[in-house]
Amino acid sequence: MLLTQSPPDHPSFRRRIAHPKLQTLYDLWLTRRGDRIAMLRADLDPTEIPRLLPCLILSDVGDGGRAIRYRLVGTEIVAAHGFDYTGKTIEELTSGETLDFTRALYGTVVTRAVPVYSEGRFRWAGREYRWTKRLHLPLTRDGTAVDMVLSGQVFEEGVTTGEELLLPATAEELAADRASES
């Protein structure tokens, strides 16, 4: 079963993120976002987050999240896939249900301008199954529209099952997390 919404007893999106690296990424995004629709791309400085770089993906997005081109793929992601897909589009990498799932996930980030946390089985041809946790964050170049997505992805060795999650942040959760920063 895929859980697609936060239970009402979770006023914090941060608490739903079940990995410290992804929590750190979220905290950075939340602080840099401020009151804007999304964090500015210009506010992302890789020298400030060297420990996170291996698990990051930076994507250009268009068409409401349906058009996805990967601009940067971290070394841990490359190792998990077995190749570097920097510069490739989503259509060059996958099809069918996986393509539909990825477009829906990115579509939520882009059209609603909210972070999305997900967990599930990492499925890649010719590779072992592993559990993965992902955080997708909206970015903007000009402050008016989400045109990039910053993703963090981590893998848990030896874990292959669990409750699959796809959790978009709510406005209430974002406000609560922002208030707790103060």
3 state SS of 95: coil
Q: Could you tell me how far CA 49 lies from the centroid of its own chain?
A: 16
Domain 2-181 falls in which CATH fold? Beta-Lactamase (3.30.450)
Q: Compare 60 and 181 and report the one with higher pLDDT.
A: 60
Query: What percent of the chain has a predicted confidence (pLDDT) above 90?
Result: 64
Q: Are 134 and 122 in contact (CB under 8 A)?
A: no
- Supply the Cα-derived Rg of the chain in whole angstroms: 15
What is 31-57 written as a DSSP string? Answer: HHHTTSSSEEGGG--GGG-TTTGGGEE
Q: Are 174 and 15 in contact (CB under 8 A)?
A: no
Strand partners, 27: none
Task: Read off the pTM.
Answer: 0.90
∠ CA 66-70-73, nearest 5°, is 140
pLDDT tens digits for 29-77? Answer: 999 998 899 999 999 998 999 999 999 999 999 998 889 999 999 999 9
Burial-class residue 21 by CB neighbours within 10 Å (0-12, 13-18, 19+): buried
